[in-house]
Structure 1
Amino acid sequence: MIVKYDPVAFEAVPRPVVSRGHEYPASFEMATHQHRRGQLLYAAAGTVAVTTPEGAWIAPPERAVWIPGGTPHSVRMVGSVSTRSVYIEQSASTALGEHCRVLAVAPLLRALLVAAVDVPREYDQDGRDGLLMSLVVEEIARAPTIPLALPLPTYAPLAARCAAFLEQPRMSETIDDWAADLGMHRRRFTRLFRRETGTSFAQWRQQACLLVALPRLAAGESVTTVALDLGYESSTSFSTMFRRVLGKSPSHYRP
């Protein structure tokens, strides 16, 4: 199911920070949209995938996606998802940055996001509710960035090759494979890839596999099945990479 974005609910509220929560069924999708305010999208349960013209971001449990105001984006829910979002005016969000990123959600920030949903839209800015909303913004600004982003190229042939890889990612694919597919010499390909994505092919390939793996794990697939499908020699080698990047084992993200 895909729905369109309705800006009426919060864009015109005369407060610098507003919050709302939603419950979504599995595979629910929000069509590409944008809003004037910046958004912190937090899935209290389930996993969300955010896609923009610049890349893709995955937020499993204990993570959230910061989406700056004016950024076109679509959202896909992996499994049943319960979201808690805050929408922040630009004047109050300058410290949060102008680029999408995935943030770690510490226990304090999680409690604040859950509590913020119950705050009235037109709350007393000088009272407790105003202090709570101000603290939400402060804690978001302090939250560490987690490497769960996948930059996407704009060069059409390379973008198409990246899209094909995301449909069926394999760690066994090499620079030489991709260079041959695009009719390029290896050196030209590596220069183009880094210029278009800001990262090396090996780093991008690993990150793509990680972002594909997270929704599958969240859906309940076994670590071994996911690892072998992605072309890892064993679940052990996959788990080692996973812990190195995210600090936790793949099984942590299974229901």
Structure 2
Amino acid sequence: MAKSNRNNLPNLLDADHFRSLEWIEKANAPVLAIGKDYGSGLIVPLHSHSRTQLWWARSGVVLVYTPGGRWMIPPGHALLIPAGMEHSAEMVSDVRMHSIYIAPVVENRAQRPLVLEISPLVGSLIDELVRVENEVSSERREHLIKDLLLEEIPRLAERPLGLPFPRDRRLATLCRQFLEAPSASANIDDWAARMGISRRSFTRLFRQETGVSFGTWRQQACIFASLPRIADGEPITTVALDAGYDNVAAFTTMFRRMLGAPPSLYLGSRQA
């Protein structure tokens, strides 16, 4: 019997997920809040919704897939997902998720996915909305919280944790291989040779396919690939050297430049 229950678990999780989607689509309120816990390795199936979603990783790390790229949500950050955009997700670790769903009539920012750093004020407002969804609360107070949240979301800082992915199959294969074994020393000439094209052709193709230069994508991909390992508690030195950096200082400098804090403090400070 226990074995049967385990085998049915994914189906039960999918059913719960689609019940939530149905509730979101049918609700009339302009702003909705949901809080859920997900286990490490759980896959959220491909779906979309008519509302813009602010998916906040209260704790843990989430990887979200969209048609145009992959997006990492570490603790203390949220992904703004435009209404109507298909996406799926993978829990890189145990995750506590708080999501806000915003009706189109009150939201006009999200034209593309954005990773945003959640401020203490916005975090408190989201926590409060998730709490009042399950408790009796003053209607006026709830409206005030929602109005303030909508005012604050456009003020949140964007972080470069989106990784655009090319549609060209050969180039996409190289990008996937890079994520499996990132290297800060990877260079254009090597990638161009592997594709059998000139350096100039590769540079032009890469920017056309991803919207960024190879150097920018490489830096983002190295940090992108390092976050789950740091979240798992691996030594920063090991992660930095595996990523092809000559020393921890160089890795820390790049990490701080992109995310605003050194890796030794980053995840711990966000979770606290």
Q: If the length of structure 1 is used for normalisation, what is the TM-score?
A: 0.93
Q: Report what 1:222 is aligned to.
A: 235
Q: Report what 2:133 is aligned to.
A: 120
Identity %: 43
Q: Does 11-20 or 152-161 show the bigger shift?
A: 152-161
Contact map agreement 1:220 1:254 (CA 8 A) in 2? no
Which protein is richer in helix relative to its size?
A: 2
Please give the alpha-carbon distance, in whole angstroms, between the structure 2 residues aligned to 1:92 and 1:124: 22
Contact map agreement 2:81 2:110 (CA 8 A) in 1? no
Q: Report what 1:8 is aligned to.
A: 22
Contact map agreement 2:57 2:75 (CA 8 A) in 1? yes
Contact map agreement 2:75 2:267 (CA 8 A) in 1? no
1:25 aligns with 2:39: yes
Give the counterpart of 2:57 among 36, 43, 61. Answer: 43
Please give the alpha-carbon distance, in whole angstroms, between the structure 2 residues aligned to 1:24 and 1:134: 29
Give the counterpart of 1:238 among 235, 241, 251. Answer: 251
Alpha-carbon deviation of 1:244? 1.5
Q: Report what 1:78 is aligned to.
A: 92
Please give the alpha-carbon distance, in whole angstroms, between the structure 1 residues aligned to 2:228 and 2:148: 31
Give the counterpart of 2:119 among 106, 123, 126. Answer: 106
- How far does the alpha carbon of each residue in 1:152-188 deviate from its partner, in whole angstroms, 9 at most, with x for none? 1112211122112112211222101100111100000
1:90 aligns with 2:104: yes
- How far does the alpha carbon of each residue in 1:192-216 deviate from its partner, in whole angstroms, 9 at most, with x for none? 1111111110110110011010111
Opposite residue 70 of structure 2, the aligned amino acid is A
Q: Does 127-136 or 209-218 show the bigger shift?
A: 127-136
Please give the alpha-carbon distance, in whole angstroms, between the structure 1 residues aligned to 2:25 and 2:214: 40
Distance change (3 Å), C-alpha of 1:120 and 1:241: closer
Q: Does 103-112 or 156-165 show the bigger shift?
A: 156-165
Please give the alpha-carbon distance, in whole angstroms, between the structure 2 residues aligned to 1:152 and 1:225: 26
Residues 181-192 of structure 1 aligned to structure 2 (within 5 Å): 181-192=194-205
Please give the alpha-carbon distance, in whole angstroms, between the structure 2 residues aligned to 1:56 and 1:139: 25
SS at match of 1:225: helix
Residues 57-68 of structure 1 aligned to structure 2 (within 5 Å): 57-68=71-82
Please give the alpha-carbon distance, in whole angstroms, between the structure 2 residues aligned to 1:90 and 1:234: 47
Opposite residue 254 of structure 2, the aligned amino acid is M
- Unaligned stretches of 5+ in structure 2? 1-8
Please give the alpha-carbon distance, in whole angstroms, between the structure 2 residues aligned to 1:10 and 1:47: 24
Please give the alpha-carbon distance, in whole angstroms, between the structure 1 residues aligned to 2:137 and 2:128: 15
Contact map agreement 2:183 2:244 (CA 8 A) in 1? yes
Q: Report what 1:34 is aligned to.
A: 48
Contact map agreement 1:26 1:78 (CA 8 A) in 2? yes
Residues 175-186 of structure 1 aligned to structure 2 (within 5 Å): 175-186=188-199
Contact map agreement 1:213 1:226 (CA 8 A) in 2? yes
Please give the alpha-carbon distance, in whole angstroms, between the structure 2 residues aligned to 1:141 and 1:241: 26
Q: Report what 2:4 is aligned to.
A: none
Alpha-carbon deviation of 1:53? 1.1
1:194 aligns with 2:204: no
Opposite residue 52 of structure 2, the aligned amino acid is G
SS at match of 2:205: helix
- Unaligned stretches of 5+ in structure 1? none
Please give the alpha-carbon distance, in whole angstroms, between the structure 2 residues aligned to 1:19 and 1:148: 24
Contact map agreement 1:49 1:78 (CA 8 A) in 2? yes
Please give the alpha-carbon distance, in whole angstroms, between the structure 1 residues aligned to 2:193 and 2:175: 14
